[in-house]
């Protein structure tokens, strides 16, 4: 089984608390561009963009910097990454991100910290079968 | 390192690349074992940019007017260009190799992938210049992590590339997890004997766990390399990051690269399928348009050629891997056949990974010889690479020999028992293995078409005029694998190319023949000015041409000049400025190329070629040499006589019609040459005028001195 962050757009109120906690945790800044989860505000709703651990990026990485751990989570080895961004282009749900001044891309590693910050349970850690997209 | 002596050692200070440049080049003399760092001047950067420009500048000052390929002062120069090694924009890992060619006696330049170029650049060098000759077998080692260059003895190793590259990677890498940080340049056994030779640039394929090989193919670089007794160049560099080229504007570089990655992701499957089959997608297109070379460029189409279509190679190529020859190349066109087992030769029965075949190899080693089994083409590709043979010159040379066999100029007695009938793959395998062993008729074929013409006329009394007509070479270099017969513009594209007939200066067949976009001489001349200049630019920067127009933005057809792919031209302008910080626009881009192009032209003149008489194609590249060729396209040719020449073909013999067509086409070609020379700023004899050189800022004293000899 794979561990991943499942999202429920209909429950999202676009408070951006998840982005804030993510950016603070990994970059110690309040810049939402550094978050590994992104909230896209639409006219009457919101869309939560984050990695579903589908592994498409793993297949295109030329340096094998992207690997899958025992829980099925895709991890980026910063030491091996050469910042080509082929993974960003290949990501089918656009959840591999870049940010101004950054060299390596960033992605959700299903750590679950954002869950606690979400007031509506629009984000949940769930499990799916290996081959389920 | 077992059995190695350090013959010379040069420690140097490691410094970061700044804005794409190191501002120093590495000079190595194998005769004296001298190793030096040389500064890069502002003049070099302003007028020669980098890449091929640096190579030619260094070579110009190293050789004499009389230097030939095997003189010690001849150099192998390898340069990388300011944009080389960025990991952001697809196709940014190219090295450019130059030397005085054993086939043409003038500078030849090859654009080649693999990891050597970027790693050598990030080790601290904008170019490597190798002069002199060693008196023993050696390896040149650049340790870009420690800052040491060494010349090492190399008494024991295998020479063939697929073995040597892997052996050296294992030897010089810190550990098996670090193989990807080492790259090797090598040639092969055949380069000891035949000039149609190449160099292989490796990259370690982490998924396949093999050394992949990319070729600096044209003009005999391998033979110069082996004549200097170099077994290999090895570089190690483990510090690569996404900003190692230290661009001034990383943001623009990243965004522009990402835009093209996304285009490829979205559009490649609908456009050229480069990620699935590489350039092999061209085989069926060329066959459909009567442009695939068959039987030494006699014909352009055959039903049997469907056996070499890309869908056949797709079955052999391992799918779904990021097959870029440099990091960040999402075009991923360097396909590979894994687990291939050769049926002939010294590696018969052994499992190997074969790079390619690309379109040119399918044309050269397949259709042009009437070899229709894709596995035979893969095997010839494998042996060409590992023996250090250029697949293009190999194909065109074998095709010439086979046609001579068809006409009885050659027979079994003269070929050492080989039946060189069209399609006899076993004989072609024997030719290649003879090249690898340095024996038999294979060594004659390996001299290339120009030398074979001399030998067959002298030894076998063959008609020199027929040999001239069917021998597909100009300036000593074999034609690459497109039919130019029905495209006047492409006849110019090939034959006016400075180094010899290679399609990397201009590929105008569709613009000219299919889409009729350049009908007048002036239109063709403009295309033969713009495209060679635009394409030259890739070689100055360390870039690959393919991501320019083998993927196109979705709205490209709606632009004013779709053949130029305007959005991608702007991308190149943007990433040049993003890396170097220097202003550029699309016009100055062309002028950067014009400076180096004219310098190369004058360099050719200095070495004894580059005049109008050197720009004459064999008639096979222009029109039908034989009756069977005329008759195969009789309707087309009869119509041309009527419409273009106002001659009624009725009642005329085929020979009469052929003579009339020939006179017309040869005259058309000469008129084209007039128009192109004028557009390029050259005299009617093909000499750049002093005024033109001044207008480009290339009236350097040494250049003017050479030009004056010809004016």
pLDDT confidence bin for B143, thresholds 50/70/90: very high
Is A60 an 8 Å CB contact of chain B? Answer: yes
Q: What's the rounded mean pLDDT across residues B670-686?
A: 98
**CB contact (8 A) between residue A63 and residue B206:** yes
Query: Quick one: CA dihedral B368, B420, B101, B435, positive or negative?
Result: positive
Helices assigned H by DSSP within B28-175: 42-43, 52-60, 116-122, 161-172
Is A88 an 8 Å CB contact of chain B? Answer: yes
**CB contact (8 A) between residue A84 and residue B320:** no
Residue identified by tokens 């093209």 is B260
- Whether residue A87 lies inside any domain: the answer is yes
- Whether residue A92 lies inside any domain: the answer is yes
Burial B56-69 (b: 16+ CB within 10 A, else e): bbbbbebbeeebeb
Are residues B247 and B579 in contact, defined by beta-carbon separation less than 8 angstroms?
Answer: yes
Residue identified by tokens 């034959």 is B495
Residue of A nearest to B244 (CA): A82
Q: Give the per-residue pLDDT at B88.
A: 98
Are residues B346 and B110 in contact, defined by beta-carbon separation less than 8 angstroms?
Answer: no
B341/B654 Cα distance (integer angstroms): 48
Substitution target from B244, B257, B320 for chain A, most A beta carbons within 10 A: B257
Percentage of residues in chain B having pLDDT higher than 70:
100
Q: What's the rounded mean pLDDT across residues A66-71?
A: 95
Q: Between helices B52-60 and B521-541, what is the axis angle to 10°?
A: 80
Q: Which helix (H) or strand (E) holds B77?
A: strand B76-79
Are residues B274 and B267 in contact, defined by beta-carbon separation less than 8 angstroms?
Answer: no
pLDDT digits (tens, 9 = 90+) for B242-262: 999 999 999 999 999 999 999
Residue identified by tokens 């804005």 is B19
**CB contact (8 A) between residue B261 and residue A85:** yes
Q: Range with the lowest mean pLDDT among A1-15, A76-90, B77-91, B344-358?
A: A1-15
Q: Give the per-residue pLDDT at B205.
A: 97
Q: Is the pLDDT of residue A114 over 60?
A: yes
Residue of A nearest to B328 (CA): A84
- Whether residue A99 lies inside any domain: the answer is yes
Are residues B50 and B542 in contact, defined by beta-carbon separation less than 8 angstroms?
Answer: yes
How far separated are the first and last CA of chain A, in Å rounded?
Answer: 12
Q: Which residues contact B20 (CB under 8 A, 6 or more apart)?
A: B50, B81, B82, B83, B84, B245, B246, B247, B579, B580
pLDDT digits (tens, 9 = 90+) for B103-122: 999 999 999 999 999 999 99
Q: Which helix (H) or strand (E) holds B302?
A: none
Are residues B481 and B291 in contact, defined by beta-carbon separation less than 8 angstroms?
Answer: no
- Whether residue A69 lies inside any domain: the answer is yes
pLDDT confidence bin for B410, thresholds 50/70/90: very high
Q: Exposed, middle or buried: residue B396 (CB in 10 Å: 0-12, 13-18, 19+)? A: buried
Q: What's the rounded mean pLDDT across residues A116-127?
A: 94
Q: Give the per-residue pLDDT at A133.
A: 60
pLDDT digits (tens, 9 = 90+) for B388-398: 999 999 999 99
B131 DSSP β-pair partners = B29
Q: Tell me how far apart the 2 most distant CA atoms of chain B are, in Å.
A: 79
CB nearest to B242's CB, from A60, A89, A103: A103
Q: Is the pLDDT of residue B1 over 70?
A: no
Q: Is the pLDDT of residue A122 over 90?
A: yes
Q: Would you list which residues of chain B are within 8 Å, Cβ to Cβ, of chain A? A: 87-88, 180, 206-207, 240-243, 250-251, 254, 257-258, 261-262, 264-265, 320-322, 324, 327-330
Are residues B574 and B89 in contact, defined by beta-carbon separation less than 8 angstroms?
Answer: no
Q: Range with the lowest mean pLDDT among A39-43, B22-26, B149-153, B390-394?
A: A39-43
| Closest to B324 measured CA to CA, from B20, B110, B548, B92 | B92
B593/B599 Cα distance (integer angstroms): 10
Q: What's the rounded mean pLDDT across residues B318-329?
A: 95
Q: Give the per-residue pLDDT at B421.
A: 98
- Whether residue A27 lies inside any domain: the answer is yes
- Whether residue A133 lies inside any domain: the answer is no
B500/B492 Cα distance (integer angstroms): 11
Q: Which helix (H) or strand (E) holds B689?
A: none
Residues of the domain holding A15: 2-128
| Closest to B372 measured CA to CA, from B435, B428, B434 | B428
Burial B139-151 (b: 16+ CB within 10 A, else e): bbbbbbeeebbbb
Look over chain B and give the mean of its residue pLDDT values, rounded to a whole number: 97
Are residues A46 and A9 in contact, defined by beta-carbon separation less than 8 angstroms?
Answer: yes
- Whether residue A9 lies inside any domain: the answer is yes
pLDDT confidence bin for B362, thresholds 50/70/90: very high
B622-625 CB contacts, 8 Å cutoff, 24+ apart: B622/B484, B622/B485, B622/B491, B622/B662, B622/B665, B622/B666, B622/B669, B623/B485, B623/B658, B623/B661, B623/B662, B623/B665, B624/B485, B624/B658, B624/B661, B625/B298, B625/B466, B625/B469, B625/B470
| Closest to B51 measured CA to CA, from B100, B120, B104 | B120
B288/B654 Cα distance (integer angstroms): 26
Q: What's the rounded mean pLDDT across residues B439-456?
A: 98
**CB contact (8 A) between residue A59 and residue B322:** yes
B270/B266 Cα distance (integer angstroms): 8
Q: Give the per-residue pLDDT at B267.
A: 98
DSSP per position, B209-272: TEEEEEEE-TT-HHHHHHHTTEEEEEEE-----TTTT--S-HHHHHHHHHHHHHHHHHHTTTTT
B496/B501 Cα distance (integer angstroms): 7
pLDDT confidence bin for B132, thresholds 50/70/90: very high
Per the structure, the count of domains in chain A is 1
B339/B317 Cα distance (integer angstroms): 10
Token pair for B453 = 């013409």
pLDDT digits (tens, 9 = 90+) for A82-111: 999 999 999 999 999 999 999 999 999 999
Question: Is residue B372 helix, strand or coil?
Answer: coil
CATH code, domain carrying A93: 3.30.70.20
CB nearest to B87's CB, from A59, A84, A100: A84
Q: Is the pLDDT of residue A130 over 80?
A: no
pLDDT digits (tens, 9 = 90+) for B195-246: 999 999 999 999 999 999 999 999 999 999 999 999 999 999 999 999 999 9
Is A14 an 8 Å CB contact of chain B? Answer: no
Token pair for B30 = 């194998």
Within 13 Å of residue B669, how many CA atoms lie on the same side as its CB?
Answer: 27
Token pair for B686 = 């093909």
Question: Is residue B337 helix, strand or coil?
Answer: strand
Q: Give the per-residue pLDDT at B156.
A: 85
> Cα B103–B108–B112 angle (5° rounding)?
115
Measured in degrees and rounded to the nearest 5, phi and psi for residue B44 equal -60, -45
B480/B497 Cα distance (integer angstroms): 12
Task: Give Cα B569 to chain centroid, integer Å.
Answer: 22
Within 13 Å of residue B223, how many CA atoms lie on the same side as its CB?
Answer: 28
Please name each of the domains of chain B with its CATH number. 6-236 (3.60.9.10), 268-478 (1.10.569.10), 488-551+585-708 (1.10.599.10)
- Whether residue A78 lies inside any domain: the answer is yes
Rounded to the nearest angstrom, the minimum Cα separation between B570 and chain A is: 20
């Amino acid at each position: 089984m794979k561990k991943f962050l499942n999202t429920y757009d209909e429950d999202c109120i676009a408070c951006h608390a998840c982005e804030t906690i993510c950016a603070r945790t990994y970059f110690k800044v309040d810049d939402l561009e550094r978050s590994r989860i992104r909230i896209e505000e639409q006219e009457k709703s919101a869309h939560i963009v984050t990695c579903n651990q589908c592994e498409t990026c793993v297949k295109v990485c030329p340096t094998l910097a992207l690997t899958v751990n025992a829980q099925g989570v895709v991890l980026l080895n910063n030491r091996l990454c050469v910042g080509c961004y082929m993974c960003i282009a290949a990501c089918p749900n656009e959840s591999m991100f870049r940010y101004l001044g950054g060299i390596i891309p960033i992605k959700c590693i299903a750590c679950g910290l954002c869950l606690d910050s979400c007031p509506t349970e629009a984000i949940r850690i769930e499990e799916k079968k290996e081959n389920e997209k | 390192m077992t059995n190695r002596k350090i013959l010379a050692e040069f420690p140097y200070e490691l410094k970061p690349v700044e804005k794409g440049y190191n501002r120093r080049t590495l000079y190595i003399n194998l005769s004296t074992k001298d190793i030096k760092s040389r500064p890069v001047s502002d003049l070099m950067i302003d007028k020669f940019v980098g890449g091929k420009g640096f190579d030619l500048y260094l070579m110009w000052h190293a050789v004499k007017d009389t230097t030939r390929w095997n003189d010690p002062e001849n150099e192998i120069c390898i340069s990388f260009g300011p944009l080389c090694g960025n990991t952001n924009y697809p196709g940014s890992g190219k090295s450019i190799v130059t030397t005085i060619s054993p086939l043409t006696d003038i500078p030849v330049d090859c654009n080649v992938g693999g990891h050597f170029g970027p790693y050598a650049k990030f080790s601290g060098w904008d170019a490597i210049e190798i002069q002199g000759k060693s008196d023993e077998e050696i390896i040149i080692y650049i340790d870009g992590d420690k800052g040491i260059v060494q010349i090492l003895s190399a008494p024991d190793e295998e020479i063939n590339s697929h073995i040597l590259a892997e052996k050296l990677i294992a030897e010089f890498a810190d550990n098996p997890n670090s193989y990807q940080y080492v790259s090797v340049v090598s040639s092969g056994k055949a380069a000891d004997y035949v000039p149609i030779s190449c160099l292989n640039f490796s990259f370690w394929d982490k998924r396949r766990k093999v050394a992949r090989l990319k070729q600096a193919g044209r003009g005999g670089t391998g033979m110069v390399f082996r004549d200097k007794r170099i077994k290999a160049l090895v570089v190690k560099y483990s510090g690569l990051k996404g900003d190692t080229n230290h661009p001034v504007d990383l943001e623009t570089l990243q965004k522009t690269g990402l835009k093209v990655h996304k285009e490829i992701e979205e559009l490649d499957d609908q456009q050229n399928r480069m990620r699935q089959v590489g350039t092999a997608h061209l085989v069926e297109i060329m066959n459909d348009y009567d442009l695939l070379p068959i039987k030494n460029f006699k014909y352009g189409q055959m039903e049997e050629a469907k056996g070499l279509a890309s869908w056949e190679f797709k079955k052999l190529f391992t799918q779904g891997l990021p097959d870029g020859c440099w990091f960040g190349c999402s075009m991923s066109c360097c396909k590979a056949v894994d687990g291939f087992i050769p049926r002939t030769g010294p590696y018969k029965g052994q499992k190997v990974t074969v790079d390619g075949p690309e379109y040119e190899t399918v044309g050269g080693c397949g259709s042009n010889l009437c070899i229709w089994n894709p596995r035979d083409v893969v095997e010839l590709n494998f042996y060409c690479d590992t023996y250090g043979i250029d697949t293009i010159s190999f194909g065109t040379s074998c095709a010439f020999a086979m046609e001579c066999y068809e006409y009885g100029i050659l027979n079994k007695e003269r070929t050492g028992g080989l039946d060189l009938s069209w399609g006899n793959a076993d004989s072609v395998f024997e030719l290649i293995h003879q090249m690898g062993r340095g024996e038999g008729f294979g060594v004659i074929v390996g001299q290339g078409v120009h030398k074979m013409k001399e030998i067959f006329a002298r030894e076998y009394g063959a008609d020199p005029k027929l040999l001239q007509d069917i021998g597909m070479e100009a300036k000593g270099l074999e034609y690459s694998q497109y039919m130019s017969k029905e495209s006047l513009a492409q006849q110019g594209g090939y034959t006016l190319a400075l180094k010899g007939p290679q399609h990397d200066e201009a590929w105008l067949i569709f613009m000219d023949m299919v889409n009729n976009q350049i009908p007048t001489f002036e239109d063709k001349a403009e295309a033969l000015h713009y495209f060679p200049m635009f394409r030259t630019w890739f070689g100055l920067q360390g870039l690959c041409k393919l991501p320019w127009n083998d993927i196109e933005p979705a709205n490209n057809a709606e632009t004013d000049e779709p053949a130029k792919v305007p959005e991608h031209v702007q991308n190149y302008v943007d990433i040049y400025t993003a890396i170097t910080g220097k202003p550029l626009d699309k016009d100055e881009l062309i002028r950067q190329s014009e400076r180096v192009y004219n310098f190369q032209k004058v360099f050719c003149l200095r070495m004894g070629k580059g005049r109008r008489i050197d720009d004459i194609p064999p008639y096979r590249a222009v029109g039908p040499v034989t009756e069977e060729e005329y008759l195969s396209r009789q309707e087309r040719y009869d119509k041309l006589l009527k419409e273009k020449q106002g001659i009624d073909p009725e009642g005329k013999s085929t020979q009469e019609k052929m003579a009339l067509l020939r006179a017309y086409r040869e005259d058309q070609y000469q008129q084209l040459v007039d128009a192109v020379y004028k557009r390029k700023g050259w005299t009617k004899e093909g000499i750049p005028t002093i005024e033109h050189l001044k207008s480009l800022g290339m009236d350097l004293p040494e250049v003017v001195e050479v030009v004056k000899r010809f004016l």
